[in-house]
Amino acid sequence: MANETVLADRAKRARRIVRNPSLYKVCMGCDSIVASKVNICPNCHSYRYQSEENYVVNQAKALSSREQNSVVAEDLM
């Protein structure tokens, strides 16, 4: 995928999160944003989260402005 396409996709996901931050939380182990129903992070297996809406929104905005640099479950398959 081209860099612009990847960033556009991340921006689209960030907008969805910003519109409904209560549905998400930020993993304190790897800074990934996951669904609020998740108990163990699928990326780093942490179980500590920050669910404050302002924190989630700020993290979504930060992640949408740069390329992914963390390892996710799909990378390990």
Rounded to 10 deg, the angle between the 3-19 and 53-64 helix axes is 170
CA 10 – CA 54 distance, rounded (Å): 19
CA 23 – CA 41 distance, rounded (Å): 15
Please name the residue that has the structure tokens 């991340």: 10
Please say if the pLDDT value at position 76 is more than 70: no
- Residue 27 is inside which H or E element, if any? strand 24-27
**Phi, then psi, of 50 in degrees rounded to 5:** -115, 120
User: What is the per-residue pLDDT across 39-71, written as a single tens digit (0 to 9) for each?
Assistant: 999 999 999 999 999 999 999 999 887 666 565
pTM given for the model: 0.80
The two tokens of residue 44 are 């780093």
Taking residues 10-22, report their average pLDDT.
Answer: 93
Q: Where are the domains of the chain?
A: 3-68
